[in-house]
Structure 1
Amino acid sequence: MNEKIAIQGIKGSFHHQVAMEYYSEVEAVEECLSFEEVVSSLMTNKASQAVMALENSIAGSIIPNYALIDKNNLQIIGEHYLDIHQNLMALHGQQLEDIQEIHSHPMALLQCMEFLKKHPHIKLVEDQDTAETARRIHKNQIRGIAAIASKVASKMYDLTILAPEIQTINNNMTRFVILTKLASDVSERKINKASLKFELNHKRGSLAAVLNVMSDCRLNLTKIQSLPIIETPWKYSFFVDVTFDQYEDFKKAKSVISIMAEQFKILGEYESKFNRLTVESFNR
């Protein structure tokens, strides 16, 4: 991949790891310390594609990212699931009892809460990125502060792992999506997943009717997320992921749903390689 890929975080972050695994080769990455900056990199053509975390098997959906994708009319062209391993790291020569503060991304702190509860004397500080925290500790030679990040980050920024694998649940997966400004040109024969967004009238059975159409068309609903429409109290947008064996089934479903729903939008049609074998590999 010769074009620049935007990632949330810096080299050594989980987003960087996804970029390296998803693409056969990555010439350059655009490091962004917020998801808004990731989107801006795409919109201003600093990057041609972007990696964005969308949901975690422990902490759930990263709801603001759904809104970012929708608001900026971005297209999902792929996805990648990463098994998340969190590690506590600090400068060489320190022990766990030397640590007064732990800095990391809020999601990383949440994923390690059971471990952190065992050390109530240590102050928890939310930071922008796991790897950036590790890099800052190394660069400024900060003692008494530890980071929670990946093993890749510990090696890249020469930190000692004080406690490995501190995530509360071992089977801790995050789903990342690959974003562009334009829809994918992948063959319909390969497309087996789609991400949709729609709004419905606030009346009894409207959502059930749409879900029945999906079922009748042999679509498998893998995700449904609602977001309130700020301008209209008690009305919601629905973000839905569906998988299917035949593209014609999906084509039939979207033609019907586009009539039933308001503000119907295709956020992406793409090939998903996530399946039962992938789940088993994460569980090993």
Structure 2
Amino acid sequence: MKKIAIQGVKGCFHHAAVSKYFEGCNYKLMECSSFREVAISVSESNVDIGVMAIENSIAGTILTNYSLLSEYNLKIVGEVYMPIQHHLMAYPYPGQNIKDIKEIYSHPMAILQCELFIDTHPYIKISEYSDTAAAAKYISICRKKGLAAIASENAAKEYGLEIISKNIQTITSNFTRFFIIKNCYKQKNDYFNKASLIFKILHTTGSLSQILSLISSIGINMTKIQSIPIIQRPWEYSFYVDIIFNNMKDYEKMKKRIQKIPCLHQLSIMGEYQNGRITS
């Protein structure tokens, strides 16, 4: 049975990502209070796998999680994209509705994704919580009228709460991308068509352009480019790039040719895995 570390508690979106990616598999969840705890658990082999959110289609990239992957030398071995639907839920008091709610608890990211709904109820106090499902669990324990949480439908079922308002996220098409991570010494995937790379380049004019132009010229598709601050070196950055390819020979050609570019200081491969995004 696989042991999988997630940030949050049962009913959270990380739990949903695990359920989707590992459907049909036996696993045991390890609930972690922070992303750093997830990274440490994976790096020290206390668990087999970690699942970590990396970006949201509304709120953007979680830069600190890139730093954790590098700091603990972890590898990306898979990804999963999850639709995120936020609901307002409370303890099931008869007749309780949105007008009765005085305070809402949720994770800062969920609060950000529901700004329009929150702005239409300015009389409600907003309190940040460590995790959406943990906020739902807290409301369930309190059993207090007037308190509510923003979380998933699974969280409402897990903790016996009633959904007062459904789908309150500002943008209907809301997705979060999750990385599946392992200790770097574990065996890598046999088949992959996507890779996550980090470039450290010399700070010269056109250096980044040279790297990106080479990748493009080989016919490899870049799906994400993200600058990442280098810790303790203010205003200097590494560049994170996701690439997708259909031909493994093109990928190997790119790696060989890119090493010959004078401005490249260091190339690190964060992960090689299968593209998790289903496109129509």
TM over 0.5: yes
Q: Match of 2:259, SS?
A: helix
Residue of structure 2 equivalent to 1:175: 177
> How far 1:258 moved relative to its partner?
3.2
Structure 1 runs (4+) deviating above 3 angstroms are none
- After TM superposition, the structure 1 stretch with the greater mean CA deviation from structure 2, 82-91 or 211-220, is 211-220
Count of aligned residue pairs for this structure pair:
274
Map of 1:40 onto structure 2: 40
Give CA deviations for 1:45-90 in whole Å, capped at 9, x if unaligned.
Answer: 2211011000011111011001111111100000000000000000
SS of structure 2 residue aligned to 1:143: coil
Alignment-derived partner of residue 235 in structure 1: 236
Once residues 164 and 12 of structure 1 are traced to their aligned partners in structure 2, the CA distance between those partners, rounded to angstroms, is 16
Distance 1:243 1:11, change over 3 A: same
* C-alpha deviation, 1:91, in angstroms: 0.6
* Structure 1 counterpart of 2:108: 106
Name the residue aligned to 2:56: 56
Q: Quick one: which amino acid aligns to residue 31 of structure 2?
A: E
Matched residue, 2:273: 270
Residue 86 of structure 2: aligned partner: 86
Shift of the 117–196 alpha-carbon distance from structure 1 to 2, 3 Å rule, reads same
Residue 10 of structure 1 corresponds to which residue in structure 2? Answer: 9
Determine helix, strand or coil for the equivalent of 1:120: coil
Cα offset, 1:250, TM superposition: 1.0
For residues 8-44 of structure 1, give each alpha carbon's deviation from its aligned partner in whole angstroms, at most 9, with x where no partner exists: 1011000001101101324201001210111111122
**Residue identity opposite 2:189 in structure 1:** V
Find out whether 1:115 has 2:112 as its counterpart.
no
Distance 1:4 1:103 in 2: 29
Question: 8 Å contact 2:40–2:72 — kept in the other structure?
Answer: no
Q: Identity over aligned residues, as a percent?
A: 45
Distance 2:267 2:70 in 1: 11
1:276 is paired with a residue of what secondary structure? coil
- Secondary structure of 1:253 counterpart: helix
Task: Give the letter for the 1:5 counterpart.
Answer: I
Look up the SS of the partner of 1:240 in the other structure. strand
For residues 259 and 102 of structure 2, the distance between their equivalents in structure 1, rounded to whole angstroms, comes to 55
What CA RMSD, in Å, does the superposition of the two structures yield over aligned residues?
Answer: 1.3
> Residue 107 of structure 1: SS of its match in structure 2?
helix
Listed as ranges, the matches of 1:68-79 within 5 Å are 68-79=68-79
Q: Secondary structure at the match of 2:234?
A: coil
How far apart are the structure 2 equivalents of 1:72 and 1:112? 33
**2:43 touches 2:74 (CA, 8 Å); kept in 1?**
no
Q: Aligned equivalents of 1:136 and 1:165: distance in 2?
A: 21
Is contact 1:228–1:235 with CA below 8 Å preserved after alignment? yes
- Tell me the SS of whatever aligns to 2:219: coil
* TM-score, length of structure 2 as denominator length: 0.94
What TM-score, normalized by structure 1, do the two folds share?
A: 0.93
Write the deviation string for residues 249-271 of structure 1: whole angstroms up to 9, x where unpaired.
11111222234322310000011
Aligned to 1:150: 152
Q: Note the 1:197-212 alignment, pairs <5 A.
A: 197-212=198-213
